[in-house]
Every structure is written in structure tokens, then in C-alpha cells.
Amino acid sequence: MKLYIDSSEFGKVMFVLTDHRKTIKRAYVIKPSETHKTMELLDKFLSSLRIKDKGLRINKIVVCKGPGSFTAIRVGLSIVQALSLAWEIPLQILSKSSFQKIL
């Protein structure tokens, strides 16, 4: 499975999970002062799909590098970098236009 994260839009974060057969997208509205809740929302998204052993099931993380809100992008990049290291899986960083073409 691949996990896509786009936090580049001001006040919104989007998570996409795909396994080449099925794609699940969820967007969450988030206040600019609450970007620290992005990880909590990601956990909520993955838990709602009943994904256990997330690091074993997800084999790649793709993140959008913008253009967009500097702080939101920085939060998203920090989260995916930490998950990539913790789960020992590759990380891919794409521009907004490339990110949208994939989805």
C-alpha cells in the first residue's frame, strides 16, 4: 500500500491510501493554529480503515511539497520523514502538479 499526504492547502489536509485495486481519500479541515493535530488525524484515518501494523502494511509514503502554506507543508514533511524512518520505508516528495496527476 502507498500512503499519500497533502498538507499544502491552507486549512486542509488530505490523506490517500491506495493498493492498486482500491483508493481511499479523506480530507480534513484543520485550523491553522492546530496543525499539530495532523498526526492525530492521520492515525484517525488509518484506524478508521482498520489498518493494523501500519508500518508493515504501508510500503511507501508520498508527500506533496507544494506550492502552498509554508507551515502546513513543513508539518506534513516532518510527519512523513518521521514515519519513513520509523517504518523503514521509502519516501517520495512530489510537487502539487505531479501529486495530483498520480491521484
pLDDT in tens, 44-66: 898 888 776 555 578 899 998 88
How would residue 11 be classed by pLDDT, with cut points 50, 70 and 90?
Answer: confident
Q: Distance of CA 37 to CAs 19, 34, 76, 102, Å?
A: 26, 6, 11, 26
Q: Which residues sit opposite 63 in a β-bridge?
A: 5, 93
Every domain of the chain and the residues it spans: 2-98
The CATH code of the domain at 2-98 is: 3.30.420.40
Entry pTM: 0.85
